[in-house]
Amino acid sequence: MAISYNESTKTFYLDGKGITYAFYINEFDYVEHLYYGKTIGHDDLRYIRGLWGRSVIAAVPGYDVDVDSGVQSYNHFGSELTFYGTGDYREPMVEIVNPAGDRLTQLLYDSYEILPEKPAIKGIPSMRDGETLVLHLKDKVSGFACDLYYTVYEDAGVIARRAVFKNESENVILLNRAYSFAMTLPHMGYDVISLYGCWAKERRVDRIPMHHGVVSIDSKRTSSSATLNPFMALAEKGATEEQGNVYGISLIYSSSFVLKAEGVCDGRTLVTGGINDFDFRWKLESGEELETPEVVMAYSSEGIGGMSRCFHDAYRNHLINPRYVRKHRPLVINNWEATYFDFTPEKLKSIAKAVQGTGIDTFVLDDGWFGKRINDHSGLGDWVVNTDKLNNGLKEIIDYVNGLGMKFGLWFEPEMVNEDSDLYREHPDWAIGVPDRPHCYSRYQFMLDLTRKEVRDYIVNAVNKVLQENHIEYVKWDYNRNVTESYSIGREPERQAEFAHRYALGLYDLCERIVEANPNVFFEGCASGGARFDPGILYYFPQIWTSDDTDAEERTHIQYGTSLVYPLSSMSCHVSVVPNHQTYRITPMATRADIAHLGATGYELDTSHFSDEDRAVVHKQVAEYHGMEDLILNGDLYRTENPMESNYFGFMVVSKDKTEAVLTAYRRMGGVNNEVKILKVAGLDAEKMYHVDELGLTIKGSTLMNVGIVPKFADGDFMTVKYRFREKNLAV
């Protein structure tokens, strides 16, 4: 059993792959955290508690401080749920306003259940499967209650957690804060790792020392955003890519979030977070509940890389749509960088025709096919074909592409509207905004108010109509601006601060209704590049456009950072033209392909000019990719060289059974009389013999991993090398 309860010590033990998580119900019915880390025995862990006594405290309400010199304070209990106003001065996980105006609550243990089947969160994406514990906590005075959910997995070193806040009173209760989890780590000797960025520079890695006070990362954009990803890791001092205790926190949420690590005066670290309480207030009527988004916590003693592999297993096996687990991905040619808005049917056909027979199997028509979309000033919201550009409609192109033996994919930006559109002329009030105040333009567009059902119904019908009337097998779902003027016409003033979370609920409803109505369509997420690359989106769309920056050098940074949390199968990566359209850099075609092939790969360039030789090059690259696709999409990732720290980048991917692997390494700057570079090799079975095609040698795993490989980069800058490893008896 993965979850067990010891009646005599009132301790819960949660065992997942390689991990134990333990807490108990103390003498005040407080849920007190005890342990999170490597698998341990189910011993009585309460002996560690006494170490944290203090003398000057606010004792648990009603408790006589003279009895026990003050250990008995909420402030000093390792916590699974912190609350405000009764002696705990740490970051509260929840803050409510009672009918009398006081903000107190004491959420204490009432009962528990163990569920063999994990219930889904209503209207919010969450992990599937796993054994689940539900703790029921109650505030006896107010009738406010909370359920804490914990799920563990046999095949991934993660715990999924969330909270449901319930109003079991006769009155209205206001929630000023409703986070998903709280947890105490035993000391403060951590570095906080986060992923920051901006357009074309998504998910760069930041690492700062933990300190007394709060380290907070958040988004206030009603979107997860490129600015900070909903992820935080606490890496023990000295933890490296391969070694040391690392705790990762990843929130399955796509709207404004916050994650906090608080260095507490007792020397421990409290971690908490969830929906951002900035610009948030939620009204809970009697009998109502608020479900919070799920957080996935990964632990590994094998460093940052180990943490990533826990997340990758969890998200590949239990988060993405089961239709795509361990499945081949479409390999696309996308027309965006080839034509932008300026295309004709002939041009599109020639782009598709040029790659026929190369192994590229899907042609994706990007922005510009609908409404009066001649540029980005008009057309969004009008999901009917632009017959000025495509005089015979979509059918002509789709038939042509299908005739080449390829699938057809189409771009949408369902959440948006241009002022210059029929939709806006008909329903100006559907755009998010405050009456009588001007809108912020962003890329000349406004956002639709997804908190309103009639708006969502319009979008669902319009998109589903296009998908059902045409033979479309792939959709790229874009999102190119963030909310401003958060406000929804028609909602009561006291519910306006519910907007950011209601937008997420609206978005998830939209995704659910469109994805489920079109089971034969493969969906890719996108947001001005990778500005909404989060687990919430991944639940609906198994891959996400990683960045508009397709320059191979920049991509080594972006893909490195993204892989801290997200599996390679989730990263859509395209080979594009040089000079690169974002950086103007020129890198070799082979390098662009080698880096783009470290994900769900595709091509995005004007192939209509291709010579036979170009076609042959792509054909060879695609064949190579197909030969390692299963490894890339489903194998274990080892980041062997960090491009932020050196002249090199390296990703090694090893099959689960360790019979196969591939190592792609990149050298940024060439030179003369270069240093001797030895590439790290990782993740192999030390005892197996591997044939390394490129070395023409068969070598023992332990030798490869301890000695490494001296790469033969071609002269010049931005060069890659690739090595394939096959267990000896599998060598070809």
The residues that are catalytic are 478, 548
Q: Choose, by CB under 6 A, the member of 480, 488, 569, 576 that binds ligand DGJ.
A: 480
Please say which residue, 321 or 528, places its beta carbon nearer to ligand DGJ: 528
β-pairing, 11-16 vs 3-6, is antiparallel
Interaction residues for ligand DGJ, span 599-638 (CB under 6 A): none
Q: Please state the closest distance from residue 340 (CB atom) to ligand DGJ, in A.
A: 8
What does DSSP assign to residue 73?
Answer: -
What track of x and - describes contact with ligand DGJ for positions 395 through 434 (by CB under 6 A)? Answer: ----------------x-----------------------
Q: Please state the closest distance from residue 79 (CB atom) to ligand DGJ, in A.
A: 41
What track of x and - describes contact with ligand DGJ for positions 674 through 703 (by CB under 6 A)? Answer: ------------------------------
| Whole-angstrom distance, CA of residue 252 vs CA of residue 59 | 36
Q: Please state the closest distance from residue 603 (CB atom) to ligand DGJ, in A.
A: 13
At residue 178, what are phi and psi to the nearest 5 degrees? -150, 80
Alpha-carbon distances of 598 from 226, 409, 683, rounded to whole Å: 21, 22, 17
| Whole-angstrom distance, CA of residue 399 vs CA of residue 391 | 14
Determine, following the binding rule CB under 6 A, whether residue 548 of this chain makes contact with ligand DGJ.
yes
Determine, following the binding rule CB under 6 A, whether residue 14 of this chain makes contact with ligand DGJ.
no
Interaction residues for ligand DGJ, span 515-544 (CB under 6 A): 526, 528-529
Please say which residue, 308 or 418, places its beta carbon nearer to ligand DGJ: 418
Alpha helices, DSSP H only, in 420-479? 422-426, 453-469
Of 207, 181, 184, 195, residue with least CA distance to 263 = 184
Q: Please state the closest distance from residue 419 (CB atom) to ligand DGJ, in A.
A: 17
Strand partners, 20: 15, 37
Q: Please state the closest distance from residue 559 (CB atom) to ligand DGJ, in A.
A: 16
660 Cβ neighbours under 8 A, 6+ residues apart: 631, 635, 654, 724, 725, 726, 727, 730
Is residue 20 within 8 Å of residue 37, measured between CB atoms? yes
| Whole-angstrom distance, CA of residue 516 vs CA of residue 228 | 30
Q: Please state the closest distance from residue 376 (CB atom) to ligand DGJ, in A.
A: 6
Alpha-carbon distances of 276 from 93, 258, 310, 391, rounded to whole Å: 11, 5, 26, 47
Q: Choose, by CB under 6 A, the member of 294, 366, 382, 594 that binds ligand DGJ.
A: 366
Q: Please state the closest distance from residue 547 (CB atom) to ligand DGJ, in A.
A: 8
- Separate counts of helices (H) and strands (E) for the chain: 12, 36
Q: Please state the closest distance from residue 218 (CB atom) to ligand DGJ, in A.
A: 24
64 Cβ neighbours under 8 A, 6+ residues apart: none
- Amino acid making up residue 121: I
Q: Please state the closest distance from residue 365 (CB atom) to ligand DGJ, in A.
A: 10
Instruction: Tell me the two tokens of residue 681.
Output: 């090799």
- Amino acid making up residue 474: Y
- Amino acid making up residue 283: K
Q: Please state the closest distance from residue 128 (CB atom) to ligand DGJ, in A.
A: 29
Q: Encode burial over 33-61: b for 16+ CB neighbours within 10 A, e otherwise.
A: bbbbbeeeeeeebeeebeebeeeebbbbe
Instruction: Tell me the two tokens of residue 721.
Output: 């090398």
Q: How many CB atoms lie within 10 A of CB 580?
A: 20
What track of x and - describes contact with ligand DGJ for positions 329 through 348 (by CB under 6 A)? Answer: -------x------------
Is residue 88 within 8 Å of residue 108, measured between CB atoms? no
Q: Choose, by CB under 6 A, the member of 202, 236, 478, 551 that binds ligand DGJ.
A: 478
| Whole-angstrom distance, CA of residue 280 vs CA of residue 615 | 54
Please say which residue, 411 or 666, places its beta carbon nearer to ligand DGJ: 411
| Percent helix, percent strand, percent coil in the chain, to nearest 5 | 25, 30, 45
Please say which residue, 293 or 529, places its beta carbon nearer to ligand DGJ: 529
Q: Choose, by CB under 6 A, the member of 545, 566, 638, 723 that binds ligand DGJ.
A: 545
| Whole-angstrom distance, CA of residue 51 vs CA of residue 122 | 41
Q: Please state the closest distance from residue 338 (CB atom) to ligand DGJ, in A.
A: 12
Of 123, 93, 122, 115, residue with least CA distance to 106 = 93
Instruction: Tell me the two tokens of residue 26.
Output: 């103390």
Q: Please state the closest distance from residue 611 (CB atom) to ligand DGJ, in A.
A: 26
| Whole-angstrom distance, CA of residue 338 vs CA of residue 51 | 65
Interaction residues for ligand DGJ, span 209-228 (CB under 6 A): none
Strand partners, 270: 184, 262
| Whole-angstrom distance, CA of residue 229 vs CA of residue 249 | 11
Size of the chain in residues: 732
| Whole-angstrom distance, CA of residue 271 vs CA of residue 202 | 24
Q: Which residue is nearest to ligand DGJ (CB)?
A: 367
Alpha helices, DSSP H only, in 232-390? 303-318, 336-339, 345-354
Of 12, 54, 72, 53, residue with least CA distance to 36 = 12
Please say which residue, 157 or 330, places its beta carbon nearer to ligand DGJ: 330
Please say which residue, 32 or 524, places its beta carbon nearer to ligand DGJ: 524
Please say which residue, 548 or 641, places its beta carbon nearer to ligand DGJ: 548
Residue 487: is it exposed, middle or buried by C-beta count within 10 angstroms (0-12/13-18/19+)? middle
| Whole-angstrom distance, CA of residue 261 vs CA of residue 143 | 29
What does DSSP assign to residue 529?
Answer: T
How many residues of this chain interact with ligand DGJ, rule: CB under 6 A? 11
> Which positions lie near ligand DGJ, rule CB under 6 A?
336, 366-367, 411, 478, 480, 526, 528-529, 545, 548
